[in-house]
Structures are given as C-alpha cells and as structure tokens.
C-alpha cells in the first residue's frame, strides 16, 4: 500500500529573543510530517524554513501539497525518492529535508535499527555541541553565559558595530573556548581587522565573515586567518555538495544544515565532498524542535564540530530525541530517528 503524508504544525518559543546580524525573534512556527505506511508504521520529519533562503511556513506547506503525489511506493527507495522530490520542489530544501528524515525514520523502524546504525556509524564519535549566544546587551550576554554553564564550548554571534565589546564581555565572563559567527556581517577590511582580535580572545574558528557570494573576499580573509591559525568555515556560502569544489582552497570548512541541503543523503554527500577537499565539516541547525535536531544528530559521528543547540534554546520542545549532555551529543538507541512526543 502506498505511503500517506500527514502534515502537522507546532510552534516553539526560544527562552530569549534570538538575534543574529540579520534580525531577531522568539516565536517560530514549524511544520512536521508523518509518512504512514500500510501497517500503520510512521516516519517523522520536521521542516525548519529559513527566510534567508526564501522559505517560510507557507512555502513549506505548499511544497508538502505538491510532494504528497510523489511519495515512493517502496520506502526503501530513499535515493530515488529524494531525487524526484528535488525535481518537483528544487527551492524547498526545508520541506524536502522533512520528508527525507521521515523516510529514513520509517526505514529504520521497519528494520528495527537506529539510522546511525544503518549508516555504520559509532555514536560515541559524536562531537560536543556548542551553545549559541545571540546578539544582546552586555548585561544579558553575561546572563546567557551563566545559563550556558553546562556547555563546554560557546558560539558567539557577531557582525555588529560593537563586536569587540561583545567579545570582551564574553571573555570577562568565561574562559571557555569560543567560536564566532559573523553571519555575513563584515566586509574584507573589517574581517582582516578582527582576525588578530579573535585570536587574542581565544576564538577557535570563524564562521561566514563575508557575504555568501564573495568567494574572492573569503579567499583573501582566509589567507590572513591562516597566518593566525584561525580556520574559516562557511555556512551561507555553502548549501549543497555541488557548492563545495569552488570553495576549496578559499575557506577551511563548511557548515551543513538540513534546512539548506534538503536531505539526509545530501548531507552525507556534502561530508564526502568536503573530505575529498581536505576541509573541516561542521553541522548546524535552525531554531528547531528535537525532531529536526535528532535527524541531523544521526550523522554527527562523521563531523568535526557541531552546533545543534536549536532545541536547547527553546522552552516548549514538543519532542524528545537526541540529547546534549554537558555539551556531548547523545544519539538515541531506538529504531529510526528515535524521536518521541514529549
């Protein structure tokens, strides 16, 4: 019997309004799907659209309506199903990622094995996750550093006209390793000026210093950063595996997000492509429930660094799945994604 697609909506709230270089909010509407087979077995997946890539809850719901007619007859036809979905809705990465996660979840449940085990991965190789401190006043930043006390590594959002003040505030509050994300908020001159300061403040790596398409600028910044042993990782500049070859030699690594690459299998292809170019691989997220986070957590044994705090930043996560225990990502041992409703 053919699979059926059921779409649900939920809203999640972050503890603080979450601000990056492009804006701030604390309420997020999310859609998630269930793929139901003839035996009533269900695979689940979540869509986390990003307005930066032209997606919203509305575009996700419209994409699901189109995709409902293109579900595989055989849930094990993972590769074929994903390829067809990409043809039907090429610009709807978040919606496709939800269906991809749901199909992998269903296959894992049918086989009685967690997804990481289907891929032959060792869950103890999952890295630590950073905890992100969004843009805020010095006083609130100090409070957030305190809230992040269980996390051994912090990720700091920069890209403002007072970045030094933010760094100083964090450094005065903690001596933990920090990573910074400028979210395309700098130009080449500013990035070059910031690099020695970042090093001085003990920053481990720098994410997306420049606009997504400024690859020549990135190459120039990376040269300076390399002299300071500061790796440069790109996020907005790298959506899918095909983006990676032209970034090789210009940056040191990539940040994978399911909301950008559109599927679990594309995430695996990105990891392989980046490794073929000797690049670092990091995995990131949007503000998501534990359903979305857990889908990404399953391939973390293959990556160098993770920023999967999207559900940890919320106060009303409707799901349980992968957890972050003092920064350590722990993968569920249950079949499929191993996600349950709270």
Q: Taking the complex as a whole, how short is the minimal distance between the CB of residue 236 and Mg ion, in angstroms?
A: 7
**Which parts of 121-180 interact with Mg ion (CB under 5 A)?**
none
Measured from the CB of residue 188, what is the shortest distance to Mg ion in angstroms? 19
3-state secondary structure the chain: CCCEEEEEEEEEEEEEEEEECCEEEEEEEEEEEEEECCCCCEEEEEECCCHHHCCCHHHHHHHHHHHHHHCCCCCCCHHHHHHHHHHHCCCCHHHHHHHHHHHHHHHHHHHCCEHHHHCCCCHHHCCEECEEECCCCHHHHHHHHHHCCCCCCEEEECCCCCHHHHHHHHHHHCCCCEEEECCCCCCHHHHHHHHHHHHHCCEEEEECCCCCCCHHHHHHHHHHHHHCCCCEEECCCCCCHHHCHHHECCECEEEECHHHHCCHHHHHHHHHHHHHCCCEEEECCCCCCHHHHHHHHCCHHHCCEECCCCCCCECCCCEECCEEECCEEECCCCCECCCEEC
Q: How many residues bind Mg ion (CB under 5 A)?
A: 3
Asked if 48 is part of the footprint of Mg ion (rule: CB under 5 A), the reply reads no
- Judged by CB under 5 A, the residue of 181, 288, 309, 317 near Mg ion is 181
Q: Is 309 in the site for Mg ion (CB under 5 A)?
A: no
- Nearest-approach distance from CB 199 to Mg ion, in angstroms: 20
Sole window of 2-10, 39-47, 116-124, 199-207 interacting with Mg ion (rule: CB under 5 A): 199-207
Nearest residue (CB) to Mg ion, 33 versus 148: 148
State the residue number with the nearest CB to Mg ion. Answer: 235
**Residue 307 binds Mg ion, judged by CB under 5 A:** no
In the list 55, 105, 235, 266, the residue contacting Mg ion (rule: CB under 5 A) is 235
CB of 318 to Mg ion, least distance (A): 25
Part in contact with Mg ion (CB under 5 A); list of ranges 38-46, 160-168, 190-198, 207-215: 207-215
- The residues that touch Mg ion, with contacts defined as CB under 5 A, are 181, 207, 235
């Amino acid at each position: 019997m053919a699979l059926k697609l059921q779409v649900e909506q939920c809203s999640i709230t972050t503890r603080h309004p979450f601000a990056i270089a492009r804006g701030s909010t604390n309420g997020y509407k999310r859609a998630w799907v269930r793929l139901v087979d003839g035996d009533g077995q269900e695979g689940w997946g979540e869509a986390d659209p990003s307005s930066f890539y032209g997606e919203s809850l509305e575009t996700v719901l419209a994409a699901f309506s189109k995709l409902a007619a293109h579900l595989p007859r055989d849930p094990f036809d993972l590769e074929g199903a994903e390829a067809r979905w990409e043809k039907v809705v090429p610009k709807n990465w978040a919606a496709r990622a939800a269906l991809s996660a749901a199909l992998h979840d269903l296959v894992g449940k049918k086989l009685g094995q967690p997804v990481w085990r289907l891929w032959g991965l060792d869950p103890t190789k999952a890295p630590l996750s950073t905890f992100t401190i969004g843009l805020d006043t010095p006083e609130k930043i100090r409070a957030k550093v305190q809230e992040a006390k269980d996390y051994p590594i912090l990720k700091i959002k920069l890209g403002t006209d007072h970045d030094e003040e933010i760094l100083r505030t964090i450094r005065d509050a903690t001596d933990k390793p920090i990573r910074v994300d400028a979210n395309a908020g700098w130009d080449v001159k500013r990035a070059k000026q910031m690099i020695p300061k970042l090093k001085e403040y003990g920053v481990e790596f720098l994410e997306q210093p420049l606009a997504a398409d400024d690859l020549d600028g990135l190459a120039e910044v990376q040269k300076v950063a390399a002299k300071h042993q500061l790796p440069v990782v790109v996020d907005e500049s790298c959506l899918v595996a095909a983006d990676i070859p032209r970034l090789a030699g210009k940056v040191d690594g990539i940040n994978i997000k399911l909301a950008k690459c559109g599927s679990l299998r594309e995430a695996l292809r990105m990891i392989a492509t980046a490794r073929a170019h000797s690049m670092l691989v990091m995995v990131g997220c949007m503000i998501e429930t534990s359903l979305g986070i857990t889908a990404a957590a399953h391939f973390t044994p293959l990556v160098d660094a993770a920023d999967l705090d999207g559900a940890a930043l919320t106060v009303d996560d409707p799901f349980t799945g992968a957890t972050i225990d003092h920064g350590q990502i722990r993968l569920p041992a249950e079949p499929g994604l191993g996600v349950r409703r709270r």
